[in-house]
Amino acid sequence: MTHQDIALGQQWVPSACALPTAEQPLRVAEFDALFAEVVRAVQRPDPTRLRLDLIFTPENAARAAELAARENGCCSFFTFTLTIADGAMGLKVRVPEQRIDVLDALQRRADAAVSSG
């Protein structure tokens, strides 16, 4: 992990996050791994919403749901919606307007992982 990677990771961790500081880089790494291994496409329908198209498997569904649930436990402003229909799976992420910068940073990491994969 480069200095730039660490800086980008810290950018999307908001000050309101209740996760202990020492655990934040580990959570960022978990999201990065999910993005690199499971996300097929990233869409931004509007400034407060992000949609991640995921590779559908029961394991990926469980992984995305578990990570979203843990993230919501420390950053309750996130709303995550996992949808599974017709053999496709998506994870929608919504934030309030005052947290758009966090969603912007999350999208940059997802875009980077998808484009490099």
Per-domain residue ranges of the chain: 3-11+21-116
Mean pLDDT by 10 residues, the chain (117 residues): 38 61 79 95 98 97 95 90 96 95 92 88
Angle, alpha carbons 55-60-62 (nearest 5°): 145
Q: What is the pLDDT of residue 24?
A: 73
Q: What is the CA radius of gyration of the chain?
A: 13
How is domain 3-11+21-116 classified at the CATH fold level?
Answer: Gyrase A; domain 2 (3.30.1360)
Distance between CA atoms of residues 33 and 110, nearest Å: 10
Q: What is the pLDDT of residue 17?
A: 67
Q: How far is CA 56 from the centre of its chain?
A: 17
Amino acid at 38: V
